Chain A
Amino acid sequence: MNRLISIFLPLSTAVIFLVVWHFLVRLSGSDLFPTPMEVVRGIRELIEKGLLLKYIVASLFRVSWGFMLAVLVGVPLGLILGWFRAAFQALNPMIQILRPISPIAWIPVAILWFGIDDTAPVFLIFLASVFPITVSSMAAVQNMQLVYLRAAQNFGVKGPQLFRRVILPAALPQIITGIRIALGIAWLVVVAAEMIAVNSGLGYLIIDARNAGKRYDLVVAGMVMIGLIGLVLDLLIRQLEKFDEVKWGYGQR
């Protein structure tokens, strides 16, 4: 019964949404903004031209690189900042100033530094995701339960061993939460980055479909794909929270 409701409720929301959308477009008499059916036809057209897969791969490629670099830099940096007070005092103010600058504001700079090939969007995605990862890793270490640290010290564990065997695993659940948030942001930013700097990807599709003939059916098709892939990415990254080593950090669900 509960299961049925959990399928039925979101499904009916979607149906109502699509129906309202359809009739609003009809009522307004717009011939630019597409109905849901026109969007589906748009998606089919993109598949037939072989563009959809190509653009999705291009966007995912950029996100993967920028995001992976951000994890590789952000997690160790955050652990160090959380553990060593001097590092925190030296770097935290700088991070807190850089962090609120929207990645969009970096677009002109990125083009200046990297031109218009793939490097610029990768750089932007890196920038967008490295801060949440760093800050959550840092906070995870700072909020670590003192008792784990004491227990480890009691057994004579110190130095790199302490990091590997205690600090990292104790911080991991919160680090994963930061990584998950960062991936969402990375996916937001890839679209913005592609609108300016490159000639492939879902962001490019949206801006190109508008510029080359006001194809709003393709614009909305691109939006729908972005939403769906974002959902899939989140579902995938959530699998990290299911590992036995980190489950303890997420309360009872």
Chain B
Amino acid sequence: MDNAKSLIHVRDCWKSFPGKKPGEQVHVLERVNLNVDAGEFVCVVGPSGCGKSTLLNIIGGFFKESRGEVRVAGAPVNGPDPRRIFVFQENGVFPWLTVEENIGFGLMSRPAEERKERVTHYINMVGLSGFEKSYPRELSGGMRQRVEIARALAANAEVLYMDEPFGALDFLTRIKMRTDLIRIWQAEKKTLVFVTHDIEEAVQLADRVVVMSKRPATVAEEVVVNLPRPRDLDSPGYLAARDRIFAIMGMDVHGGGTGDPK
């Protein structure tokens, strides 16, 4: 899948962090290759602690790769960029701003008129009308994630990097958020790179699922999920894709063991 015209292009990317002892290095990523095309919805799955957040932070410009090549829209990544907004695992909505102030955060350089229009539009899109003047502490976890997504969309980001955005939500809210995210993605035609440790979530959402191995992590395999949306979670295609990923990650859903899928 090495493809120079991809929007996001990660080639032989290595990353290590300084370890606890002086001179020691913790190897987190090892020769990771990844390409994402414009408009694609790609999920990255892998076991907890394997380096998914690390990879996303490198693509997002918050970490620097130790070795390798990371290019987005043709240019090497040198720090974060307003055209590509990160949605954080721990929720990055500003608690001192109201919902509408948060969503307008990336629009301060625009005329007030346009700002107001965009904020209203995206408040409606994420289903938060009526909560314009609320503060984040008055919202539920799911609503706070909606604010963060709307904030990225309002700023007209082309790419959203989402790091387990629904990880802290309860089951039903998570299901609802997935449906809404698909709807928003279809309406806005953004590129989405979505990290999760939840295999089911990945198969429900993505065009393509990138499966990472244990640490030091590399891309174990990619599974294309070529299924129509909304997805039928009982269809053979869905189950096949899901079981394939379980197998790659060394978990046999049917046998319960960790053995080789063959």
Interface residues, chain A, with chain B CB atoms under 8 Å away: 145, 147-148, 150-151, 153-156, 165-166, 169-170, 172, 244-249
Q: A170-B94, A245-B96, A248-B137 are in contact. List 5 more A-B contacts (CB 8 A).
A: A150-B86, A154-B80, A169-B94, A247-B135, A248-B96
List B18-73 residues whose CB lies under 8 Å from chain A.
60, 62
Q: Is the CB of B135 within 8 A of A154?
A: no
Q: Judge if B167 is at the interface, Cβ distance under 8 Å.
A: no
Which residue of the partner chain, among A150, A169, A248, contacts B136 with CB atoms under 8 Å?
A248
Range for the number of chain B residues in contact with chain A: 20 to 34
Which residue of the partner chain, among A147, A150, A165, A246, contacts B80 with CB atoms under 8 Å?
A150
Q: Judge if B155 is at the interface, Cβ distance under 8 Å.
A: yes
Whose C-beta in chain A lies nearest to the C-beta of B86?
A154
> Given A154-B60, A155-B82, A155-B85, is A246 in contact with B96 using a C-beta cutoff of 8 Å?
yes
Contacts of B106 in A (CB 8 A): 155-156
In the complex the two chains form, what is the Cα distance from A166 to B85 in whole Å? 17
Cβ of B119 to closest chain A Cβ, rounded Å: 14
Which residue of the partner chain, among A156, A165, A166, A249, contacts B82 with CB atoms under 8 Å?
A156
Contacts of B60 in A (CB 8 A): 154
Contacts of B137 in A (CB 8 A): 247-248
In the complex the two chains form, what is the Cα distance from A227 to B102 in whole Å? 43
Q: Is the CB of A151 within 8 A of B92?
A: yes
Interface residues, chain B, with chain A CB atoms under 8 Å away: 60, 62, 79-82, 85-86, 88, 90-92, 94-97, 105-106, 108, 135-137, 155
Q: Is the CB of B94 within 8 A of A166?
A: yes
Whose C-beta in chain B lies nearest to the C-beta of A149?
B92
Whose C-beta in chain B lies nearest to the C-beta of A147?
B92
19 pairs of residues in contact across A and B, judged by CB atoms under 8 Å:
A145-B90, A147-B88, A148-B92, A150-B62, A150-B80, A150-B86, A151-B86, A151-B88, A151-B94, A153-B80, A154-B82, A154-B85, A154-B86, A155-B82, A165-B105, A169-B96, A170-B94, A247-B137, A249-B95
Cβ of A19 to closest chain B Cβ, rounded Å: 45
Cβ of B169 to closest chain A Cβ, rounded Å: 17
Cβ of B97 to closest chain A Cβ, rounded Å: 8
Q: Is the CB of A170 within 8 A of B82?
A: no
In the complex the two chains form, what is the Cα distance from A154 to B87 in whole Å? 10
In the complex the two chains form, what is the Cα distance from A245 to B91 in whole Å? 18
Contacts of A245 in B (CB 8 A): 96
Which residue of the partner chain, among B79, B95, B155, contacts A248 with CB atoms under 8 Å?
B95
Contacts of A147 in B (CB 8 A): 88, 90-92
